[in-house]
């Protein structure tokens, strides 16, 4: 029995005893190795601190190069910091714990305490060693990523009036499928402010973009010394690699020429500002927006914001301040400059002086000559050539807000010798090309296709340049005689020129738009260098002095719209004359025979609505013969009064090539003439027919002649007046580039385009949409007119419809789609408007905001008719 029990007890006790000895040995090891582990922990900690210092130094270098430390590196540094604190705490207990050891360190006076301490030391030693190895293994401690999505840019002040443009650009950025957006306008108009506002809005509303870049390469993490030494091509590659994987917005301010932007596969946007519309084209902008000058109301608000409130408390100053603000022409830079200068001026005398100074000598006003004009002058200096700069500078001879005829301006440039006449057929094309450059550079403003004008501030800047004696020898003065080369007295109340000025260097003299009635015979005696003389719209000038023959250098003479009765035969002496304008000289009775044919240098002869009793004998046949003798004639505007005279014109190859404007007045004796006969006039731009007694101007079988590609391609202006036998003008549908159509006193006309007649030539109807280029449609005293066209048309370029005394015209060819692209202004009688019928309510609502009943519109047309006749 006893043996059995003994064996049983021995078997059950053996595992317990084994575990006891294992636990005791392990615990004894923590106690036995404590001193060695403490020494190793101290050494391992020092190595970890060295590793941490190395990693921290690398992080700082990378961060200085616009890089961002990695999250795992940041986590490791925090763990090292915690481990260092824990080790320090353990080492502080070192002496206390080692004093408890006995029997050579193999045992302890307090086994439990020594064991627990020894265990912590051993575990921390392992942790510190692992941290050191992990830190030493870091190959990269920071990444090249943007430090911020967008940096806010300080703005001195916002500009009222930019809201509309801002909203349009922002809509393109966040909503529309638009990649490149161009913002253009004159220097100082607020483009940079607008771009800053866009940037700052992204600071709060980044939308779906990863980064916004304001032309700073460091924004995408490329700034180290290694990158600076790379070639331009390799830099471009680096930028492309980074941006190709991101959605970004690139903001480029004030660019002057094309920049190559390689397309990224990501959905990204580019917004740039420029002073030239040409840059918008070369950059292939999907959308472009012009920043316009501020309206008077917007300008005043901006001006007022920069004045101290107590200045405006004076009862007399607010009105004067508005005058001063208006002199800044709505240019924000000028408004800010002047308002700062006037912010503390608190007497009416100071404000009156400022207004007069800005009006007469703006460059002398504080800041204008040092801040405003130099900025604007960058655009002038950046023009492609001295020739183009001279052409622009010439425009400052015209008064503020003056509508300058493009045609007359080019004529003057030719007279001045600015344009190259080696290729006579291209000289006018060059003139229009230069005008286009100046308009696209925002230095000229285009008005209704036919005119340009200078903004007031741009004009003042040009005068500042022209009168800078240190830089410009070609003096321009407005209103003085002595020591200058160009004089403009446009629009002055000059009645008599009775003295004989001595102006040996004078090259240009503008005396137009005056009440001038007398010019003494000796007035021109001492002007041997005069090239350009403009006497147009001199309302009292019935006689031209014979002394004009002394102007041996004269190349341009404009007598248009004067009541002159007779041209002196002495004009034959003007052998260098290149341009003669006699348009609308309706009182002219005598042009001596062979006067025109003797002016052998003539390139341009404008005689539209000029009907004298000598050369016009026979309806103008003699005049045509004399014009045909002019070897260098390149541009002809002429009035003819008979079918025979027209046939004589059409039989001359020379006159076919140079006739640009044709006025047919009273073909009473012939009904055989029709419009296709004019198809040989390849450069015909303007056609006016008055008092037509024939029936149809085009027969059905002749339509093909009109639609030939080379026929009537240049014709853009058609006027018909007192053509009482015409019932329609269906042939107008085939004039491809018609821009202006005026129908006046055509009482038999019932419709402009007859759809049934178009159906008679079905082979020509497949792609026909009338009025694709039409901009202005004037309908006056067409008392039986019922229809313009039988259905609604898109009118992609139409700007204005003017209707007066057309009571039966109850419907316009418009629908809601006609107003989608742009607004079409409709002018007419209020009662007529109320009775108009519309396609639907949507069409009425689309055009209602753009109807104008303007008595002065009627008056302006009436006045223009008086001036013409």
Top-confidence range, 254-258, 329-333, 701-705, 863-867: 329-333
- Residue 423 to residue 811: CA distance in whole angstroms: 49
Lowest-confidence segment of 5-9, 56-60, 70-74, 681-685 by average pLDDT: 5-9
- For 48, the domain range is 14-143
| Statement: residue 837 has pLDDT above 80 | yes
Are 189 and 237 members of one domain? yes
Per DSSP, the residues of 193-245 read HHHHHHHHHHHH--TT-SEEE-S-GGGGT--SHHHHTS-HHHHHHHHHHHHTT
User: How wide is the angle at C-alpha 812 spanned by C-alphas 774 and 822, nearest 5°?
Assistant: 50
Question: If pLDDT is split at 50, 70 and 90, which confidence band does 70 have?
Answer: confident
| Statement: residue 476 has pLDDT above 60 | no
Average pLDDT rounded to a whole number, residues 637-641: 92
Question: If pLDDT is split at 50, 70 and 90, which confidence band does 2 have?
Answer: very low
Strand bridging mode 476-477 / 486-488 = parallel
Q: For residues 811 and 836, is the Cβ–Cβ distance under 8 A? A: yes
Joined tokens for residue 743: 């129908």
Q: For residues 844 and 820, is the Cβ–Cβ distance under 8 A? A: no
Average pLDDT rounded to a whole number, residues 313-335: 90
Say what the pLDDT of residue 631 is: 93
Final residue belonging to a domain, choices 325, 340, 370: 370
| Statement: residue 74 has pLDDT above 80 | yes
Q: What is the DSSP letter of 399?
A: P
| Statement: residue 331 has pLDDT above 70 | yes
**Residue 574 CB burial class (10 angstroms; 0-12, 13-18, ≥19):** buried
Q: For residues 249 and 269, is the Cβ–Cβ distance under 8 A? A: yes
Are 20 and 137 members of one domain? yes
Question: If pLDDT is split at 50, 70 and 90, which confidence band does 208 have?
Answer: low
| Statement: residue 261 has pLDDT above 50 | yes
Q: For residues 636 and 658, is the Cβ–Cβ distance under 8 A? A: yes
Say what the pLDDT of residue 311 is: 85
Whether 775 is in a domain gets the answer no
Q: For residues 525 and 501, is the Cβ–Cβ distance under 8 A? A: no
The mean pLDDT of the chain is 82
| Statement: residue 48 has pLDDT above 90 | no
519-544: per-residue pLDDT in tens?
A: 998 999 999 999 999 999 998 999 99
- Give the chain's radius of gyration (CA, Å): 43
Could you tell me which residue, 776 or 85, shows the higher pLDDT?
A: 776
Whether 206 is in a domain gets the answer yes
Share of the chain above pLDDT 90, in %: 33
- Residue 607 to residue 602: CA distance in whole angstroms: 13
Cα torsion 105, 109, 111, 114: sign: negative
Whether 185 is in a domain gets the answer yes
Are 438 and 506 members of one domain? no
Q: For residues 858 and 804, is the Cβ–Cβ distance under 8 A? A: yes
CATH of the domain at 407: 1.10.10.10
Half-sphere exposure of 143 (CA within 13 A, CB side): 9
Are 500 and 566 members of one domain? yes
Strand bridging mode 211-213 / 248-255 = parallel
Lowest-confidence segment of 337-341, 613-617, 766-770, 862-866 by average pLDDT: 862-866
Whether 231 is in a domain gets the answer yes
Are 53 and 137 members of one domain? yes
Whether 781 is in a domain gets the answer no
Are 314 and 412 members of one domain? no
Are 425 and 479 members of one domain? no
Question: If pLDDT is split at 50, 70 and 90, which confidence band does 703 have?
Answer: low
| Statement: residue 24 has pLDDT above 60 | no
User: How wide is the angle at C-alpha 516 spanned by C-alphas 512 and 522, nearest 5°?
Assistant: 100
| Statement: residue 701 has pLDDT above 70 | no
Final residue belonging to a domain, choices 260, 290, 320: 290
Global confidence as pTM: 0.74
Whether 429 is in a domain gets the answer yes
Whether 634 is in a domain gets the answer no
CATH of the domain at 543: 3.80.10.10
381-392: per-residue pLDDT in tens?
A: 889 999 999 999
Are 429 and 545 members of one domain? no
778-830: per-residue pLDDT in tens?
A: 999 999 999 999 889 989 899 999 999 999 999 999 988 887 767 889 999 88
Lowest-confidence segment of 140-154, 434-448, 484-498 by average pLDDT: 140-154
Per DSSP, the residues of 426-471 read GHHHHHHHHHHHHHHTTSSEEETTTEEE--HHHHHHHHHHHT-TTT
Say what the pLDDT of residue 388 is: 95
Task: Of 640, 643, 635, give the one whose Cα is nearest residue 610.
Answer: 640
Lowest-confidence segment of 261-265, 577-581, 744-748, 750-754 by average pLDDT: 261-265
Say what the pLDDT of residue 148 is: 53
Say what the pLDDT of residue 533 is: 97
Cα 617 to its chain centre, rounded Å, is 51
Are 572 and 463 members of one domain? no
Final residue belonging to a domain, choices 577, 609, 628: 577
Lowest-confidence segment of 62-66, 101-105, 334-338, 686-690 by average pLDDT: 101-105
748-782: per-residue pLDDT in tens?
A: 999 999 888 776 666 655 567 889 999 999 999 99
Q: Is 284 left (phi over 0), alpha (psi -120 to 50) or beta?
A: left
Lowest-confidence segment of 479-483, 687-691, 729-733 by average pLDDT: 479-483
Strand bridging mode 556-558 / 451-453 = unpaired
Domain tally, the chain: 5
User: How wide is the angle at C-alpha 490 spanned by C-alphas 507 and 464, nearest 5°?
Assistant: 70
Q: For residues 606 and 661, is the Cβ–Cβ distance under 8 A? A: yes
Lowest-confidence segment of 154-163, 277-286, 570-579, 796-805 by average pLDDT: 154-163
Say what the pLDDT of residue 552 is: 92
Q: Where are the beta strands (DSSP E) in 672-810?
A: 686-690, 717-721, 740-744, 776-780, 800-804
Top-confidence range, 98-107, 168-177, 284-293: 284-293
Whether 590 is in a domain gets the answer no
| Statement: residue 5 has pLDDT above 80 | no
Are 492 and 550 members of one domain? yes
Say what the pLDDT of residue 597 is: 94
Between the CA of residue 512 and those of 308, 364, 490, 502, 604, what are the distances in Å? 45, 29, 5, 20, 19
CATH of the domain at 250: 3.40.50.300
Are 302 and 276 members of one domain? no
Beta carbons within 10 angstroms of residue 387's beta carbon: 15
| Statement: residue 11 has pLDDT above 50 | no
| Statement: residue 217 has pLDDT above 50 | no
Task: Of 281, 286, 282, 258, give the one whose Cα is nearest residue 270.
Answer: 286
Average pLDDT rounded to a whole number, residues 719-728: 89
- Residue 534 to residue 562: CA distance in whole angstroms: 11
Are 172 and 86 members of one domain? no
Secondary structure of 556-612 as H, E, C letters? EEECCCCCCCECCHHHHHCCCCCEEECCCCCCCCECCCCHHHHCCCCCEEECCCCCC
């Amino acid at each position: 029995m006893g043996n059995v029990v003994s064996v049983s007890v021995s078997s059950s006790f053996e595992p317990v005893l084994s575990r006891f000895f294992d636990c005791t040995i392990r615990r004894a090891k923590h106690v036995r190795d404590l001193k060695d582990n403490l020494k190793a922990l101290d050494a391992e900690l020092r190595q970890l601190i060295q590793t941490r210092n190395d990693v921290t130094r690398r992080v700082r270098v990378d961060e200085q190069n616009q890089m961002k430390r990695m999250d795992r590196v940041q986590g490791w540094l925090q763990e090292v910091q915690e481990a260092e604190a824990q080790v320090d705490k353990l080492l502080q207990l070192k002496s206390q714990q080692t004093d408890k050891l006995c029997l050579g360190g193999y045992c302890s006076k307090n086994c439990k305490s020594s064991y627990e301490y020894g265990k912590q030391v051993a575990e921390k030693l392992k942790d510190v060693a692992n941290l050191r190895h992990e830190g030493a293994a870091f190959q990269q401690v920071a990444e090249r990523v943007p430090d911020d999505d967008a940096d806010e840019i300080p703005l001195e002040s916002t500009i009222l009036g930019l809201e509309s443009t801002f909203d349009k650009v922002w809509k393109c950025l966040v909503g529309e499928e638009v990649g490149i957006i161009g913002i253009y306008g004159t220097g100082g108009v607020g483009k940079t402010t607008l771009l800053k506002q866009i940037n700052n809005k992204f600071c709060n509303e980044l939308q779906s973009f990863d980064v916004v870049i304001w032309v700073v390469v460091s924004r995408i993490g490329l700034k180290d010394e290694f990158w600076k030494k790379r070639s331009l091509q390799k830099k471009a590659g680096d930028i492309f690699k980074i941006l190709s994987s991101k959605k970004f917005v690139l903001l480029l301010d004030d660019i002057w020429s094309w920049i190559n932007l390689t397309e990224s596969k990501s959905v990204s946007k580019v917004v740039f500002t420029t002073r030239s519309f040409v840059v918008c084209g070369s950059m292939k902008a999907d959308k472009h927006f012009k920043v316009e000058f501020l309206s008077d109301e917007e300008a005043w608000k901006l001006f007022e914001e920069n004045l101290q409130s107590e200045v405006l408390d004076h009862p007399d100053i607010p009105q004067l301040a508005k005058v001063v603000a208006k002199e800044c022409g709505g240019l924000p830079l000028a408004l800010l400059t002047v308002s700062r200068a006037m912010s503390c001026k608190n007497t009416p005398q100071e404000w009156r002086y400022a207004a007069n100074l800005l009006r007469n000598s703006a460059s002398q006003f504080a800041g204008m000559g040092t801040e405003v004009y130099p900025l604007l002058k960058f655009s002038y200096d950046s023009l492609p050539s001295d020739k183009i700069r001279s052409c622009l500078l010439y425009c400052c001879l015209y008064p503020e807000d003056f509508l300058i005829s493009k045609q007359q301006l080019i004529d003057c440039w030719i007279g001045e010798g600015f344009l190259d006449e080696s290729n006579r057929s291209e000289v006018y094309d060059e003139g229009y090309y230069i005008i286009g450059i100046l308009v696209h550079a925002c230095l000229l403003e285009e008005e209704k296709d036919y005119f340009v004008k200078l903004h007031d501030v741009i004009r003042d800047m040009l005068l500042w340049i022209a009168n800078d004696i240190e830089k410009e020898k070609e003096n321009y003065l407005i209103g003085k005689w002595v020591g200058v080369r160009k004089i403009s007295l446009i629009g002055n109340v000059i009645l008599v020129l009775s003295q004989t000025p001595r102006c040996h260097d004078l090259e240009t003299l503008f005396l137009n738009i005056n009440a001038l009635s007398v010019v003494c015979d000796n007035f021109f005696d001492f002007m041997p260098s005069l090239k350009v003389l403009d006497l147009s719209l001199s309302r009292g000038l019935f006689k031209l002095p014979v002394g004009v023959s002394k102007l041996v250098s004269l190349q341009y003479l404009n007598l248009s719209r004067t009541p002159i009765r007779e041209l002196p035969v002495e004009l034959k002496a003007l052998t260098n004359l290149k341009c003669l304008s006699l348009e609308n000289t309706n009182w002219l009775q005598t042009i001596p025979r062979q006067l025109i044919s003797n002016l052998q240098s003539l390139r341009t002869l404008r005689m539209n609505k000029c009907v004298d009793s000598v050369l016009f004998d026979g309806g103008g046949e003699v005049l045509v013969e004399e014009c045909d003798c002019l070897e260098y004639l390149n541009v002809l505007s002429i009035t003819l009064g008979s079918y025979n005279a027209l046939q004589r014109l059409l039989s001359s190859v020379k006159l076919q090539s140079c006739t640009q404007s044709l006025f047919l007045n009273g073909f009473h004796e012939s009904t055989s003439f029709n419009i296709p006969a004019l198809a040989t006039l390849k450069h015909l731009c303007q056609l006016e027919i008055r008092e037509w007694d024939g029936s149809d101007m085009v027969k059905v079988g002749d339509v093909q002649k009109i639609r030939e590609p080379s026929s009537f391609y240049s014709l853009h202006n058609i006027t018909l007046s007192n053509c009482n036998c015409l019932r329609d003008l269906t042939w107008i549908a085939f004039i491809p580039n018609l821009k202006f159509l005026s129908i006046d006193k055509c009482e038999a006309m019932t419709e402009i385009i007859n759809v049934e007649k178009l159906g008679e030539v079905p082979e020509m109807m497949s792609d026909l949409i009338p009025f694709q280029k039409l901009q202005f449609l004037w309908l006056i005293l067409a008392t039986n007119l019922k229809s313009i066209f039988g259905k609604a048309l898109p009118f992609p370029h139409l700007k204005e419809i003017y209707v007066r005394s057309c009571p039966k015209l109850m419907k316009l060819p418009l629908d809601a789609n006609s107003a989608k692209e742009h607004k079409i202004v409709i002018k007419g009688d209020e009662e007529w408007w109320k009775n108009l019928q519309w396609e639907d309510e949507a069409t009425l609502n689309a055009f209602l905001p753009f109807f104008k009943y303007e008595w002065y519109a009627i008056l302006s047309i009436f006045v223009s008719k008086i001036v013409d006749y």
